[in-house]
Amino acid sequence: MVIGIIGAMSEELEILLKEMSLEKKDIKAKMEFNYGTLWGKKVVAVVCGIGKVNAAVCAQILASEYKVDKVINVGIAGGIGENIRPGDLVIADSLVQHDMDATAFGDKRGQIPRLDTFDFKSDTKLVELAYNCSKESNEHKSFVGRIATGDEFVASVDKIRFLNKEFNAIACEMEGGSIAHVCYLNSIPFVVIRSISDNANTGAHMDFDKFKDIAVKNSTNILKNMLKLI
């Protein structure tokens, strides 16, 4: 079994690589794919870059060239739910692409035309595993719900409330939905895990340097615990 790990921050990958027994490193589509053994499991770890296209290209390379059996995506998101605070974790049980708008043709906003699903559902076993592993720390709260993805940095309170009302989303970011889309097309189980950096809905935010350390610590601990149990 080979597990693909997609990170949003290079700092997250640096910690993993120090723990990893690296067998090879490939440059594909200007991304660095690190193949080896991590905490007893074969993995390919890669930073995908920002945005849906980068994330989708990365996920498809993992599927086509490394034949990964599962994908775990960790990164940052903005909180939408009023009870979600900076430093908390959101584990996606489903993802939608909020910037897909074909309503002129009668589709619901977020629906990709002629695709047989509206949202992309995470693997239930991976969601349960991620949630249980996240609960091992009492330094943050963990939530399971829908994440909305789009090629837009959302800072507007009105837009945040729209995403919550329209999609019942509890967090928003710029990569997870496209990774989920690619995994769906390739029938690869996946889970998307996000550390919350801010919440425009409540005005809560955290200094980035402080947040970065927390996000890296949380994602590393969760990944380590998950890989031991997968």
pLDDT tens digits along 88-119: 999 999 999 999 999 999 999 999 999 999 99
Count the domains in the chain.
1
Q: Residue 87's pLDDT is what?
A: 87
Residues 12 and 20 sit within 8 Å (Cβ to Cβ)? no
**Percentage with pLDDT > 90 across the chain:** 70
Is 199's pLDDT higher than 80? no
Helix ranges, 82-145 (H): 124-134
Q: Residue 57's pLDDT is what?
A: 98
Marked catalytic residue, from 11, 12, 152, 158 = 12
Is 206's pLDDT higher than 80? no
Which tokens in the block code for residue 90? 């959101």
Tell me the per-residue pLDDT of 169-192, one tens digit each, with 9 for 90 and over.
999 999 999 999 999 999 999 999
**Residue predicted with more confidence, 33 or 204:** 33
Active site residue 128: no
Cα-based distances in Å from 47 to 133, 137, 139, 175, 199 = 22, 25, 26, 11, 24
What is the rounded distance in angstroms from the CA atom of residue 17 to the CA atom of residue 55? 20
If pLDDT is split at 50, 70 and 90, which confidence band does 13 have? Answer: confident
Segments forming the whole domain that contains residue 58: 2-229
Is 156's pLDDT higher than 90? no
State in Å, rounded, how far the first CA of the chain is from the last one. Answer: 10
Averaged confidence pLDDT in the chain? 92
CA dihedral 185, 186, 187, 189 (to 10 degrees): -110
Q: Residue 217's pLDDT is what?
A: 85
If pLDDT is split at 50, 70 and 90, which confidence band does 143 have? Answer: very high
Domain of 11, CATH number, reads: 3.40.50.1580
Is 132's pLDDT higher than 80? yes
Mapping DSSP to helix (H, G, I), strand (E, B) and coil, where does residue 49 land?
coil
Active site residue 12: yes
Mean pLDDT value of segment 25-44: 97
If pLDDT is split at 50, 70 and 90, which confidence band does 198 have? Answer: confident
Is 162's pLDDT higher than 80? yes
Marked catalytic residue, from 32, 198, 207, 209 = 198
Is 30's pLDDT higher than 80? yes
pTM of the complete model: 0.94
